[in-house]
């Protein structure tokens, strides 16, 4: 049965909505940490190449699959002729992946909410202490914040304010970007910041190792929301006369610009606050890096503009990051939700309630991975180490499944749905029908080069992560 779908009114509307969903924790937290960890400039270079030559074509393929099928990811494959176990599997992980990503995402959203609340109560200096993060994430305060995040997500989805929130986000996201740039400029004036700028911008190609390559690919997929069904879903809301190619380029560019700026904020800050830092220590970086250096920037700001203004700026900044995280979280939850409601097993409100509770249960378990429960903190052992539930979700869904989903999308559009059908659907709505060099590259790459790169990286990740 065809369910009639709402459509985005314009290309700008689509680009803003898709960029609003794509910009989130991945750009603001994940990217700077990954760049610090994986050799700075070396990572940035590999990342940029992946976005332009691997991810952008996949983004176009996913959007086209969504628009042509008018379906959610669990049904898009079969609607375009993909039957049998492989495409059935692709459909199932197309819905399972966004759910598990939402679990992992909600854990980090909770930390942001916790920091935001702490800033309101005036704890900037405490927050900048490196031990604060560890004790916060292993305290049972996280459950309260998790419940709050659940209520907010439920209220947005069920309360019929989703459109309003999205409209507000369209205003708040540019504000976040402007603030980010202003903070970058401020950080660049701090002593020794330039050492961070060179680490970030000058690639040392000898640092490009297989793990840097794997890290850059997963980060690019995550940040652009690829391989999690989100763009298939967004594509299904796209108008037939919107130019997919142009829109995808704008979304990828915006997303990458935000990630790049977040890196330009944090890496110089690290070198400024810790001038003796040894870059090999950075390879041990984790998310805690972001949560301690960001408050340090605001503490430095206190010396220049006073406690009141520094705290106010910190508050607004964390609030905007929180909004970015919540809008992204809502848009990921929407994928399994729309798959559920198209099957009409429950009415929408009940489906939302069910989904949020399920997310809360998994989110609570994953939140206990940092010491709150021995069971979840040492959930399994593989590749010689104790792994927490959070690690398992991260290793499987972020690092491994995203590229696999990308591979399935390429193989599907090129060999099952067929290149000619894909090309026709992709170009529907494009004002300019001439073939650019990029179109020619894409034609060739999607059917061979990209799947090959993804398959090699997938196999390498599985071998190094799990064996
Ligand atoms: N791309 C988002 C980020 O970088 C995460 C996300 C994934 C958002 C899927 C929506 C859907 O944070």
DSSP letters along 317-363, please? HHHHHHHHHHHHHHHHHHHHHHHHHHTTSS-HHHHHHHHHHHHHHHH
Question: Which atom of ligand 1 is closest in space to residue 255's alpha carbon?
Answer: 4
When mean pLDDT is compared across 110-114, 118-122, 140-144, 210-214, the lowest value belongs to: 118-122
Q: Check residue 2 and give its pLDDT.
A: 40
Report the alpha-carbon distance of residue 377 to residue 388 in Å, rounded. Answer: 4
Give the C-alpha separation, 426 to 239, whole Å. Answer: 12
Residue 27 CA: nearest ligand 1 atom is 4
Site residues for ligand 1, CB cut-off 6 Å? 21-22, 24-27, 101, 222-223, 225, 228, 230, 328, 331-332
Instruction: Give residue 1's pLDDT.
Output: 36
pLDDT at 129 over 60: yes
Rounded Cα distance, 207 and 201, in Å: 13
* Residue nearest ligand 1's atom 8 by CA: 328
At 218 the three-state DSSP class reads: helix
> How remote is the CA of residue 34 from the centroid of ligand 1, in Å?
16
Q: What is the pLDDT of residues 407-466, one digit of tens each?
A: 999 999 999 999 999 999 999 888 777 788 999 999 899 999 999 999 999 999 999 888
> What pLDDT does 374 receive?
94
149: CA distance to ligand 1 center in Å?
16
pLDDT given at position 4: 53
The angle formed by the CA atoms of residues 314, 315 and 320, to the nearest 5 degrees, is: 100
> How close is the Cα of 83 to the center of ligand 1, in Å?
28
Question: Can you tell me which residue has the tokens 């992204």?
Answer: 328
CA of 29 to the centre of ligand 1 (A): 12
Q: Which of 39, 34, 456 is nearest to 206 (CA)?
A: 39
In this structure, is residue 6 part of a structural domain? Answer: no
Please give the number of the atom of ligand 1 that sits closest to the Cα of 222: 1
Higher pLDDT, 205 or 162: 205
What is the per-residue pLDDT across 231-252, written as a single tens digit (0 to 9) for each?
Answer: 998 898 888 888 999 999 999 9
Q: Domain for residue 285, yes or no? A: yes
Residue 92, in any domain of the structure: yes
- The alpha carbon of residue 159 and the mean position of all alpha carbons in its chain are separated, in whole angstroms, by 25
pLDDT band at residue 300, thresholds of 50, 70 and 90?
very high
| Per-residue pLDDT tens over the stretch 360-385 | 999 999 999 999 999 999 999 998 88
pLDDT at position 5 is: 65
Q: Which atom of ligand 1 is nearest to the CA of 228?
A: 9
CA–CA distance, 392 with 372 (Å, rounded to integer): 17
Average pLDDT over residues 152-180: 84
Task: Check: CB of residue 371 under 8 Å from CB of residue 352.
Answer: no
Res. 3: pLDDT tops 50: no
Residue tagged 């940490």 (tokens):
33
pLDDT, greater one: 329 or 12: 329
- What integer pLDDT is reported at residue 102 of this predicted model? 96
Q: What is the pLDDT of residue 24?
A: 93
Query: What distance in Å separates the CA atoms of residue 415 and residue 89, rounded to the nearest whole number?
Result: 17
Distances 243 to 31, 54, 225 between C-alpha atoms, Å: 28, 20, 19
In a domain, 229, yes or no: yes
The residue contributing the CA closest to ligand 1 atom 9 is 225
Question: How many CB atoms lie under 10 A from the CB of residue 420?
Answer: 8
Taking the C-alpha atoms of residue 241 and residue 165, their distance in angstroms, rounded to an integer, is: 26
- Asked if 169 and 323 count as a contact pair (C-beta separation under 8 A), the reply is yes
Q: How large is the angle between the packed helices 162-188 and 141-158, nearest 10 degrees?
A: 130
Q: Which two tokens stand for residue 229?
A: 């069904």
The best mutation among 21, 47, 233, 262 to test binding of ligand 1, ranked by most ligand atoms within 8 Å of the C-beta, falls on 21
Token reading at 109: 């959203």
Q: Poorest-confidence range of 66-70, 255-259, 277-281, 352-356?
A: 277-281
Residue 71 · residue 406 · CB < 8 Å = no
- Looking at every residue in the chain, the average pLDDT score rounds to 91
Burial of 213 (0-12, 13-18, 19+ CB in 10 A): buried
Q: How far is the CA of 223 from the centre of ligand 1 (A)?
A: 6
Ligand 1, closest atom to CA 325?
12
Å from CA of 231 to ligand 1 middle: 10
Q: State the residue range of the domain holding 240.
A: 11-466
Does the pLDDT of residue 125 top 70, yes or no?
A: yes
ipTM value for the complex: 0.96
| Predicted confidence (pLDDT) at residue 89 exceeds the cutoff of 60 | yes
Task: Report the distance separating Cα 393 and Cα 376, nearest Å.
Answer: 12
Residue 48 has pLDDT above 90, yes or no: yes
Mean pLDDT of the 387-410 span: 94
Q: Which residues contact 204 (CB under 8 A, 6 or more apart)?
A: 39, 40, 41, 42
DSSP per residue, 373-439: -HHHHT-EEETTEEE-HHHHHIIIIIIIIHHHHHHHHHHIIIIITTHHHHHHHHHTT-S--S--HHH
Condensed to tens digits (0 to 9), the pLDDT of residues 64-86 reads: 999 999 988 888 888 898 888 88
Which 8-state DSSP code applies to residue 369? G
Q: Which two tokens stand for residue 268?
A: 């110089």
Does position 49 have pLDDT exceeding 60, yes or no?
A: yes
- Ligand 1 centroid to residue 113 C-alpha, Å: 17
Q: Which residue out of 95, 97, 107, 230 has the highest number of ligand 1 atoms within 8 Å of its CB and is therefore the one to mutate? A: 230
Domains held by the chain: number: 1
pLDDT of 161 above 90? no
Q: Which residues contact 221 (CB under 8 A, 6 or more apart)?
A: 55, 227, 402, 403, 406
Q: Whose CA is nearest to atom 7 of ligand 1?
A: 225
Of the candidates 212, 213, 255, the one whose C-alpha atom is nearest the C-alpha of residue 59 is 255
DSSP assignment of 421-451, as one string?
HHHHHHHTT-S--S--HHHHHHHHIIIIIHH
2 part of a folded domain: no
Does residue 60 surpass a pLDDT of 70?
A: yes
Centre of ligand 1 to C-alpha 255, Å, is 10
- Choose which residue among 20, 23, 26, 406 to substitute to test ligand 1 binding: the one with the highest number of ligand atoms within 8 A of its C-beta: 26
Instruction: Tell me what pLDDT residue 6 has.
Output: 67
- How crowded is residue 123: how many other Cβ atoms within 10 Å of its Cβ? 16
Nearest-atom number in ligand 1 for the CA of 335 is 11
Q: Report yes or no on 252 lying in a domain.
A: yes
Handedness of CA 219, 220, 226, 227 (dihedral sign): negative
CA angle 33, 36, 280 (to 5 degrees): 130
β-partners of residue 213 are none
Look up the CATH number of the domain holding residue 352.
Answer: 1.10.4160
User: Which residue carries 């176990």 as its tokens?
Assistant: 85
Look at residues 117, 162, 210 and name the one whose alpha carbon lies nearest to residue 337.
162
Residue 4 lies in a domain: no
Spacing, Cα 20 to ligand 1 middle (Å) = 9
Closest residue (by CA) to atom 11 of ligand 1? 332
Mutate which of 162, 328, 331, 406 for ligand 1 pocket (most atoms within 8 A of beta carbon): 328
In a domain, 181, yes or no: yes
Q: How far is ligand 1, taken at its centre, from the CA of residue 280, in Å?
A: 29
- The CA 230 to ligand 1 mean position distance, Å, reads 9
C-alpha–C-alpha distance, residues 146 and 359, integer Å = 10
């Amino acid at each position: 049965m065809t369910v009639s779908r709402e459509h985005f009114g314009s290309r700008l509307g689509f680009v803003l909505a898709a960029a609003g969903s794509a910009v989130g924790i991945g750009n603001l937290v994940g990217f700077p940490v990954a760049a610090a960890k994986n050799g700075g400039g070396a990572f940035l270079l590999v990342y940029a190449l992946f976005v332009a030559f691997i991810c952008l074509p996949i983004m176009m393929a996913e959007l086209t699959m969504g628009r042509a099928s008018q379906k959610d990811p669990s049904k898009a494959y079969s609607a375009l002729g993909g039957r049998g176990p492989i495409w059935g599997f692709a459909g199932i992980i197309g819905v399972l992946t966004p759910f598990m990503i939402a679990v992992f995402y909600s854990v980090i959203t909770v930390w942001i909410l916790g920091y935001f609340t702490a800033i309101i109560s005036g704890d900037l200096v405490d927050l900048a202490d490196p031990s604060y993060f560890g004790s916060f994430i292993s305290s049972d305060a996280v459950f309260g914040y998790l419940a709050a995040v659940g209520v907010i997500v439920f209220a947005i989805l069920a309360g019929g304010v989703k459109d309003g929130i999205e409209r507000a986000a369209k205003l708040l996201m540019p504000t976040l970007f402007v603030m980010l740039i202003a903070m970058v400029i401020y950080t660049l004036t701090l002593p020794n910041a330039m050492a961070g700028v060179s680490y970030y911008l000058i690639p040392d190609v000898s640092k490009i190792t297989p793990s840097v390559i794997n890290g850059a690919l997963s980060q690019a997929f995550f940040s652009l929301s690829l391989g999690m069904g989100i763009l298939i879903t967004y594509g299904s809301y796209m108008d037939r006369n919107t130019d997919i190619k142009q829109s995808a380029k704008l979304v990828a560019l915006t997303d990458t610009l935000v990630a790049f700026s977040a890196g330009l904020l944090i890496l110089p800050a690290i070198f400024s606050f810790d001038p003796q830092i040894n870059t090999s220590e950075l390879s041990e970086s984790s998310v805690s890096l972001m949560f301690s250096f960001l408050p340090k920037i605001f503490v430095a700001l206190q010396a220049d503009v006073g406690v009141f203004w520094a705290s106010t700026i910190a508050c607004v900044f964390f609030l905007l990051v929180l909004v970015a995280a919540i809008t992204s979280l809502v848009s990921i939850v929407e994928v399994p939700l729309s798959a559920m409601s198209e099957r009409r097993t429950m009415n929408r409100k009940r489906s939302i309630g069910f989904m949020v509770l399920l997310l809360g249960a998994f989110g609570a378990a994953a939140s206990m991975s940092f010491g709150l429960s021995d069971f979840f903190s040492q959930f399994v052992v593989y590749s010689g180490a104790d792994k927490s539930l959070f690690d398992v979700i991260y290793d499987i869904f972020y690092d491994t499944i995203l590229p696999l989903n990308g591979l399935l999308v390429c193989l599907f559009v090129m060999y099952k749905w067929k290149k000619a059908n894909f090309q026709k659907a992709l170009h529907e709505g494009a004002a300019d029908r001439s073939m650019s060099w990029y179109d020619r590259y894409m034609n060739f790459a999607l059917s061979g080069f990209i799947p090959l790169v993804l398959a090699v990286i997938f196999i390498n990740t599985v071998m190094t992560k799990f064996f």
